[in-house]
């Protein structure tokens, strides 16, 4: 039995209730109106306007180049489509690391200009003060630990994080700091399943995994990966439900052929 009525809006409180009732949370990224409309109608619980937009929407190699203005543009489009899901927006690289005042100003811009419901930021103890300041202004914050793509040049690779004991211990401590600071939920990216299970058990806030195994409170994927729009990206944690790259490629080839052979438009397709 679901803890929320079909038509009722998902809030941070609903997610807490879902954790306590052991109902898994389904989260996906979204960057545009049309896709968000489909995902919301399908019943997704949380939509993340991820800074992965930098990769899948703009074609950048990393998440670092995307700006606050660009995130607000994507977020506004998603918010306009959504009737039920909780919309969380990534604070982009460079919009919160400077100091807590900057973090608060960036969060306020996102909330005011996009109409989103919460923000997400990467990091542990080093962003505690920023999280507290954002929350004190009434803005819910989701944390993100493990593989944090905004630090890719520090890591040097996108491989699994926290396999060694020292990094695992630090991650557990950071997770507790984030909960203590007031985060309403936490994303764990690409870490051993046993470690994610431990964190989800220790924390009272929902823990949402991506490449973090099944024993967490919910799952998130980049929607373009799930739909097979991103060619050649097949990490072990990804379940690809469609191959839209091939589907769209085939449809466009048919269109080109129909145009060239004068098959399109036919008599019924004109005025
Ligand atoms: O930006 C993003 O898509 C994310 C998810 C991978 C959690 O942060």
Specify whether 17 is catalytic: no
Q: Give the pLDDT score at 5.
A: 59
The reply to whether ligand 1 has any atom less than 6 angstroms from the CB of 52 is: yes
Cα 213 from Cα 195, distance rounded (Å) = 9
Fold exhibited by the domain 3-240: TIM Barrel (3.20.20)
Per-residue confidence band for 175, with pLDDT thresholds at 50, 70 and 90: very high
The reply to whether ligand 1 has any atom less than 6 angstroms from the CB of 124 is: no
Mean pLDDT of the chain: 97
Domain residue spans of the chain: 3-240, 244-271
**How does pLDDT run across 49-95, given as a tens digit for each residue?**
999 999 999 999 999 999 999 999 999 999 999 999 999 999 999 99
Cα 187 from Cα 171, distance rounded (Å) = 12
Helices (H), the chain: 12-20, 33-42, 53-56, 68-81, 100-114, 128-136, 152-155, 165-181, 193-202, 223-226, 244-260
Q: Which of 189, 202, 267, 269 is catalytic?
A: 189
Q: Is 3 helix (H, G, I), strand (E, B) or coil?
A: coil
**How does pLDDT run across 113-162, given as a tens digit for each residue?**
999 999 999 999 999 999 999 999 999 999 999 999 999 999 999 999 99
The reply to whether ligand 1 has any atom less than 6 angstroms from the CB of 29 is: yes
The reply to whether ligand 1 has any atom less than 6 angstroms from the CB of 210 is: yes
Please say if the pLDDT value at position 231 is more than 90: no
Which residue shows structure tokens 């005025």? 271
Average of pLDDT values for 8-14? 97
Using an 8 Å Cβ cutoff, are 62 and 55 in contact?
A: yes
**Relative to the CA of 187, which ligand 1 atom is closest?**
7
DSSP-assigned beta bridge partners for residue 207: 186
């Amino acid at each position: 039995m679901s803890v929320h009525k079909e038509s009722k809006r998902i809030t941070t409180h609903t997610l807490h209730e879902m954790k306590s009732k052991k109902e898994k949370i389904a989260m996906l990224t979204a960057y545009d109106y049309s896709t968000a409309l489909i995902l919301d109608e399908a019943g997704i619980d949380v939509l993340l306007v991820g800074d992965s937009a930098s990769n899948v929407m703009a074609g950048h190699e990393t998440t670092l180049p995307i700006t606050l203005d660009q995130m607000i543009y994507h977020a506004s489009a998603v918010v306009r489509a959504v009737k039920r899901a909780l919309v969380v927006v990534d604070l982009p690289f460079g919009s919160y690391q400077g100091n807590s005042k900057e973090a608060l100003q960036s969060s306020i811009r996102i909330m005011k200009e996009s109409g989103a419901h919460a923000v997400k930021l990467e990091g542990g103890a080093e962003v505690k003060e920023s999280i507290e300041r954002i929350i004190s202004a009434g803005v819910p914050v989701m944390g993100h630990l493990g593989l944090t793509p905004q630090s890719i040049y520090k890591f040097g690779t996108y491989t699994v994080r926290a396999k060694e004991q020292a990094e695992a211990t630090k991650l557990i401590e950071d997770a507790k700091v984030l909960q203590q600071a007031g985060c309403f939920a936490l994303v764990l990216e690409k870490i051993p399943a046993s470690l994610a299970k431990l964190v989800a058990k220790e924390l009272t806030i929902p823990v949402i995994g991506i490449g973090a195994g099944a024993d967490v409170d919910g799952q998130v994927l980049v929607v373009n990966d799930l739909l097979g729009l991103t060619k050649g990206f097949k990490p072990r944690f990804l379940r690809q439900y469609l191959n839209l790259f091939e589907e769209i490629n085939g449809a466009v080839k048919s269109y080109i052929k129909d145009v060239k052979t004068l098959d399109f438009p036919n008599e019924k397709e004109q005025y």
